[in-house]
């Protein structure tokens, strides 16, 4: 599933959602947002995951990645620096 900046992600129930490997998702986020510290990427992914499932990060709904991308792009547009603070 490829998620572009202007693409709206269709919401699914957990039973309908696709699952992806956490490590692979984290690597894709790292490649897309290379200047964001790992701790911040994981903080956002955890927040998205908890909002959707409240579970442990082994595999995650694919929506977690698209939601994390949305949050990171929003932060970048608002001028936050890599430490999550306003520049």
- Find out whether 55 and 27 touch, Cβ atoms under 8 Å: no
Token digits of residue 36 = 């964001």
pLDDT band at 50 (very low <50, low <70, confident <90, very high): confident
pTM above 0.75, yes or no: no
- Give residue-wise pLDDT tens across range 2-46: 445 555 556 656 566 677 788 888 999 999 999 999 999 999 988
Q: Which residues contact 61 (CB under 8 A, 6 or more apart)?
A: 12, 14, 17, 18, 19, 49, 52, 53
């Amino acid at each position: 599933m490829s998620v572009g900046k202007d693409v709206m992600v269709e919401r699914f129930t957990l039973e309908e959602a696709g699952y992806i490997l956490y490590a692979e998702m984290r690597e894709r986020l790292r490649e897309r947002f290379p200047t964001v510290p790992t701790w911040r990427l994981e903080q956002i992914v955890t927040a998205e995951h908890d909002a959707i499932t409240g579970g442990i990060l082994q595999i995650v709904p694919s929506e977690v990645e698209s939601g994390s991308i949305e949050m990171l792009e929003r932060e970048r547009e608002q001028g936050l620096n890599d430490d999550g603070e306003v520049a």
